[in-house]
Amino acid sequence: MQDFYVFSNGQLKRQDNTIYFIDGEGKKKSLPVDKVENLHLFGETQFNSSFLNLLNQYDINLHIYNYYGFYAGSYVPREKKVSGFVLVKQAEHYLKEEKRLEIARSFIESASFHILRNLKSHKEKTTDTIRMITEERKKLENANSVQEIMGIEGRIRNCYYQSFSQFLRPEFSMEKREKRPPTSPINALLSFGNSLMYTTVLTEIYKTQLNPTISYLHEPSVKRFSLSLDIAEIFKPLIVEPLIFSLINNRRITPKQFSYEHGFCLLNEEGRKRFIESLEKKMQTSIKHRKLKRQVTYRYLIRLECYKLIKHVIGDEKYKPLKAWW
């Protein structure tokens, strides 16, 4: 199963049991519907209910991004893996503050572990940052509220971002984290990568019995799948950020892959394609799992994290967040 990315404007049509993309010049390209797991739309694309019915038939997720490359929304086929028992237990762990705190703390313990792991790859330049983040990380154990945990996470991230100029090429220096709009290349890369990670996590959640709207670190609210934000905290510093560092320092991404519009700094189409190509390759990379004793991909590690969370909320096994051992 593969992800397919559409950058051009055009139409997506169903003909019998086949998906066709027709670009602005009328050129038609078929997609292997039985091999598509996710469709990512970055261009202006037209489709109808017949097309959506085919997606539902083949369990294909559709993710839509706006003109600037930010995640806008998803069409997800009707849930098939549902469990009232898991839903009740998941909600119970949100409603009971002590249970919620335990899970929220675990997410940031894992995230900060991977942040330190990244910095230790450049430890000759980041010694002071490593020390400051290590001290902040110790405060997680005594945090008494989710807001306090979020505060610790914010300070860790600020230290981390400020260190980027110490090991990235100078044209990708970072003064501060800007999300919407990003006004610099490094911020544009982070925002784009985080959007893709969010949709990847959402896809893996839907393969389990978890409900993506019930979360523990980020506050559940309308119009967002906040559990995806929670779990993505673990994988952004494990997958997205090391990929960004590699693309920059190996000159796979340069200032030529960006454009500026109305105060926004954006990856152009060539930049997006290079980023996605490298991300897909990373997600299919496999490692030997210590517990399962077999090779698993980075993408499957995300689903395993969901399974571990289910076991925790139903009382089978205490949740231990992923901390890369390789």
CATH code, domain carrying 23: 3.100.10.20
Amino acid identity of residue 122, one-letter, is: H
Q: Is 233 annotated as a binding residue?
A: yes
Considering its fold, how many domains does the chain have in total? 2
Torsion sign over Cα 240, 246, 252, 256: positive
Find the CATH number of the domain harbouring 101: 1.20.120.920
Distance between CA atoms of residues 58 and 230, nearest Å: 28
Q: Answer whether residue 195 is part of any domain.
A: yes
Amino acid identity of residue 80, one-letter, is: K
Distance between CA atoms of residues 202 and 270, nearest Å: 26
Q: Which residue has the tokens 């984290």?
A: 177
Q: Is 171 annotated as a binding residue?
A: no
Question: Which residues does 265 contact at the CB level (< 8 Å), separation at least 6?
Answer: 181, 182, 183, 184, 185, 187, 188, 258, 259
Q: Which domain holds residue 287?
A: 84-313
Would you give per-residue pLDDT tens digits along the chain (326 residues)? Answer: 789 999 989 999 988 778 889 988 888 898 888 889 999 999 899 999 989 999 998 999 999 998 878 888 899 887 767 889 999 999 999 999 999 999 999 999 999 999 999 999 999 999 999 999 999 999 999 999 999 999 999 999 999 999 999 999 999 988 888 887 888 999 999 999 999 999 999 999 999 999 999 999 999 987 689 999 999 999 999 999 999 999 999 999 999 999 998 888 999 999 999 999 999 999 999 999 999 999 999 999 999 999 999 999 999 999 999 999 99
Element (H, E) at 186: helix 185-205
Torsion sign over Cα 50, 54, 55, 57: positive
- Do 265 and 161 fall within a single domain? yes
- Do 186 and 243 fall within a single domain? yes
Distance between CA atoms of residues 67 and 85, nearest Å: 40
Angle at alpha carbon of residue 41, lines to 37 and 44, rounded to 5°: 150
- Do 110 and 34 fall within a single domain? no
- Do 64 and 103 fall within a single domain? no
Q: Is 153 annotated as a binding residue?
A: yes
Q: Answer whether residue 324 is part of any domain.
A: no
Q: Which residue has the tokens 């002071």?
A: 128
Establish how many alpha carbons lie within 13 A of residue 301's alpha carbon, considering only the half-sphere containing its beta carbon: 26
